[in-house]
Amino acid sequence: MNVQDIINTVSSKAGLDEPTAEKVVGTIFSVLEHEAEGSSVSSFFAQIPGADALAQKYDVMAAGGTANSGGGLLSSLQGALGGVLGEKAGALINGVAALKASGLDMAQIQKAGTTLIQQAEAAAGPDLTNQVLDQVPSLRSHLGL
């Protein structure tokens, strides 16, 4: 299973158009890329062809990147919080803000996130997927897991 298969499944199960599903998947993968450490995240991405490239496309820590467009007070707050809390917390804050900025409510984010995790478990195996998620415990609560 590659990243496009995951995007297609998230799109159909969460009722999102494909570009929005791609943004959700890419943004969550970017959060994992920034927050999870060690070889487990590398192994995880290796099991899902295209996941790493998609995470980079929607890089939540890129200044003015696709995930962070918008500006204004929210962007300033995100930047300040990210700076104070460090990259790890900043990646999650930026990721959730990017998903909300794309017009999704928490129920849609949770449905898309749950579907993404189910697909990731099918592609990379439940043990490896949980190993990566365990390094980002606050992501689980944001995704309703």
The predicted-structure confidence for 73-101, as pLDDT tens digits, reads as follows 444 444 444 444 444 558 888 898 898 88
State the pTM of this model.
0.82
CA-wise closest residue to 139 among 108, 107, 114, 118: 114
Which pLDDT score is estimated for 111? Answer: 93
Across the range 4-15, mean pLDDT stands at: 96
The encoded tokens of residue 125 equal 């195996």
Burial class (CB in 10 A: 0-12, 13-18, 19+), 4: middle
Q: Side-chain half-sphere of 63: how many Cα atoms within 13 Å?
A: 4
Provide the 10 A C-beta neighbour count for residue 133: 21
The encoded tokens of residue 49 equal 């062809």
